[in-house]
Amino acid sequence: MAEGTLVTPHLELRRKTAERDRGLREKVMSLEEAASYVSDGDHVAIGGCTMSRTPTALIWALVKARRKNLKISRSIVSSEGEVLYGSGVSNHIITSWFSQGIVWGVSKVMRHHTESGKARFDEWSHMSIGLRYRAGAMGIPYMPVRSMIGSDVNARLGDEVKEVECPFTGERLIALPALNPDVALIHVQRADAYGNAQLDGLQFMDIDIAMAANRVILTTERIVSNDQIRRAPDHTRIPFFTVDAVIEVPYGSAPHECYGVYEPFFDHMDTLAAQTKADPVKGMKKYLDDFYYGPESWSDYLDLLGADALVDAGRRGRSIYND
């Protein structure tokens, strides 16, 4: 996105889309290769919500690649936001809610970076974030909405929102600016080598993000055949031509959950919360050293989580289908 441009002009958006190779082609690669699809300064949208279907492995790869100055947007930001702030990969996060999770109280890492002015946290209402992606996905420059009106959330956003009047009813609404991220990072349960993705359970904002973005990097618990995708085309949620890279990454959301596959690694999250609560700077540095800079590969990272934790999270995750 051009610096300072809130909404990408339509012809520029079209030009970027036209330049992408959208033909039916295989695009399987490694996490390291995929990380090169993200440039310093990009606006990166993150799929999932809170501790669900977070593309942790991709964020891990971006931290290891020492990416800088990313502008991040997400529905609700959890510990991956602490990692992005703490590693210096991002100092600007756009979201509706940012903390590790309700049960752990207010994030000390978020507080440390925002209260000191080291990093920016732009707050929009949850639906507003979603409708900004949706407008971007639809190819319109704004979406009228009845929320945020009258609040300080709206007031604080200044010129980033505008008041409009309905030309039919005269009702006053807010115009939300379309959001077309440079890159979207999305983790799913299964996809084929072309990037056709099928999501089980909670969808969050992932479909709109994929449609809105100018590049999509997809990690998947497993790569399935295109034949399997074609057997249930009404389960496909993201079409291949929006996707630029596909990486098979088992446990790609750990320590967060992937619906029906594994639940959050609660003990790991407890430990992270305790050490950042004690000291947001040192606690986060230790976490990054231990789990990001230390392990050489994603397999090494999973080794650190430990087989017991992997098995336990998996058992809890699959239990959703036990009823």
Question: Which residues from 219-238 bind another protein, rule CB under 8 A?
Answer: 226, 229-230, 233-234, 236-237
Q: Does 118 bind a second copy (CB under 8 A)?
A: no
User: How many chain residues touch another protein (CB under 8 A)?
Assistant: 92
Cβ-based neighbour number of residue 279 at 10 Å: 13
For 5, 72, 138, 180, the CA distances from 2, given in Å and listed in that order, are 6, 16, 20, 12
Contacts with a second copy in 218-247 (CB under 8 A)? 230-231, 234
Q: Does 201 bind a second copy (CB under 8 A)?
A: yes
Could you tell me the maximum CA-CA distance found in the chain, to the nearest angstrom?
Answer: 61
Select from 24, 8, 11 the least CA-distant residue to 242. 24
Residues 56, 287: Cα–Cα separation, whole Å: 14
Q: Does 164 bind a second copy (CB under 8 A)?
A: yes
**164 contact, one of a second copy, another protein, none, CB 5-8 Å limit per kind:** a second copy
Which of 133, 142, 287, 291 binds another protein (CB under 8 A)? It is 133
Least gap, CB of 35 to another protein (angstroms):
25
Residues 223, 299: Cα–Cα separation, whole Å: 17
Contacts with a second copy in 62-91 (CB under 8 A)? none
Q: Does 141 bind a second copy (CB under 8 A)?
A: yes
Nearest CB to a second copy, comparing residues 200 and 244: 200
In the chain, the amino acid numbered 170 is: G
Contacts with another protein in 280-319 (CB under 8 A)? 317
Q: Does 23 bind a second copy (CB under 8 A)?
A: no
Q: Does 200 bind a second copy (CB under 8 A)?
A: yes
Residues 286, 320: Cα–Cα separation, whole Å: 34
Strands 197-198 and 236-238: antiparallel
Nearest CB to a second copy, comparing residues 24 and 166: 166
Which of 3, 152, 159, 308 binds another protein (CB under 8 A)? It is 152
Least gap, CB of 299 to another protein (angstroms):
25
Which of 101, 144, 295, 317 binds a second copy (CB under 8 A)? It is 144
For 9, 11, 20, 287, the CA distances from 15, given in Å and listed in that order, are 10, 6, 9, 41
Q: What are phi and psi of 248, to 5 degrees?
A: -85, 115
All residues at 6 or more sequence positions from 76 whose CB lies less than 8 Å from its CB, including other chains = 49, 50, 95, 96, 97, 98, 126
Q: Does 176 bind another protein (CB under 8 A)?
A: no
Secondary structure class of 265 (helix, strand, coil): coil
Contacts with another protein in 15-74 (CB under 8 A)? 17-18, 21-25, 49-52
Which of 40, 115, 171, 289 binds a second copy (CB under 8 A)? It is 171
Which of 15, 25, 118, 146 binds a second copy (CB under 8 A)? It is 146
